[in-house]
Amino acid sequence: MSKSVKEQMQEMKEESLSCEDCEKLVRTRTQVVFGAGNPESSLVFVGEAPGENEDIQGKPFVGRAGQLLDEILKETGLLRDEIWITNIVKCRPTKLNESTGRLSNRAPLVGEIKNCQKWLEPELSLIDPTVIVCLGGPASSAIIHKGFKMTQERGQWFTDTIYAPFVIAAYHPAYVLRMHGASFDKSRQLLVDDIAAAKQKAIDEKGQPKMTLF
Ligand code: URA
């Protein structure tokens, strides 16, 4: 009997846990943070890379940005268990903060994003989602097109990627958290709107070939 998507994803995850392709990341990571949720979902969220909390807990989006994402998922009527959440890079990129002597987060390097496609591509291809929401610029550049401009291109539908028939870019929750006052409210609302549009698209496209339920 052929293996279920859940079983295949579990195998892929287990294999990824011993990946040592990025020398710098291997040195400081606690663990690889693979995607989580329902691998049979038609709706997938892709972020940048794990931060400190994700590195410790081994799950994507469990820190402050993840709490905001959870809040917004709830507002749009989505549950983590019915979607898939992952990152373009699966180990926490860090730099040494000279003044505190502690590690802080940094953006993933181009080479790290490239190396990690080894996991992202089969992961997305196994799920075969109808809709992908790219959270932030790096995920959008990796999935939609190089040099993606969040200010000009967020909230639009892209139908020509290899990863899913419908892809949309939304603000990263960590970006929203850096805003204050009216800017916070405005960017938070745009994130809500983009996630609600993604949910609606997944519902509207239900019944199309290859669709699975949430
Ligand atoms: N930011 C991300 O892009 N991914 C996470 O998993 C957490 C924070």
Domains of the chain (ranges; CATH) run 5-206 (3.40.470.10)
- Write down the pLDDT at residue 147: 96
- Write down the pLDDT at residue 67: 98
Query: In angstroms, rounded to a whole number, what is the distance separating the alpha carbons of residues 68 and 195?
Result: 13
Burial 49-88 (b: 16+ CB within 10 A, else e): bbbebbbeeebbbbbebbebbbebbeebebebebbbbbbb
124 lines ligand 1 (CB under 6 A): no
- Write down the pLDDT at residue 206: 82
Query: In angstroms, rounded to a whole number, what is the distance separating the alpha carbons of residues 170 and 155?
Result: 6
Q: Positive or negative CA dihedral for 110, 112, 115, 121?
A: negative
Q: Look up residue 71 and give its two tokens.
A: 């809040």
93 lines ligand 1 (CB under 6 A): no
Q: Look up residue 159 and give its two tokens.
A: 């139908």
pLDDT(173) > 70: yes
Q: Look up residue 13 and give its two tokens.
A: 């995850």
pLDDT band at 129 (very low <50, low <70, confident <90, very high): very high
**Which of 100, 116, 96 shows the shortest CA–CA distance to 108?**
116
123 lines ligand 1 (CB under 6 A): no
- Write down the pLDDT at residue 211: 47
Q: Taking all residues of the chain, what is their mean pLDDT, rounded to a whole number?
A: 96
Tell me the CA–centroid distance for residue 210 and ligand 1, in Å.
28
Place of tokens 């496609």: 117
158 lines ligand 1 (CB under 6 A): no
46 lines ligand 1 (CB under 6 A): no
pLDDT(156) > 70: yes
pTM of the model: 0.96
3-state secondary structure of 83: coil
Tell me the CA–centroid distance for residue 140 and ligand 1, in Å.
14
pLDDT band at 213 (very low <50, low <70, confident <90, very high): low
pLDDT(170) > 50: yes
Which range among 64-68, 110-114, 143-147, 202-206 shows the weakest confidence by mean pLDDT?
Answer: 202-206
Tell me the CA–centroid distance for residue 209 and ligand 1, in Å.
31
Our mutation pick for probing the ligand 1 site, out of 30, 87, 176, counting the most ligand atoms within 8 A of Cβ, is 87
Tell me the CA–centroid distance for residue 100 and ligand 1, in Å.
23
Tell me the CA–centroid distance for residue 48 and ligand 1, in Å.
6
Q: Look up residue 10 and give its two tokens.
A: 């579990």
Q: What is the mean pLDDT of residues 126-130?
A: 98
pLDDT tens digits along 72-122: 999 999 999 999 999 999 999 999 999 999 999 999 999 999 999 999 999
Please report, as a single letter, which amino acid is at residue 60.
P
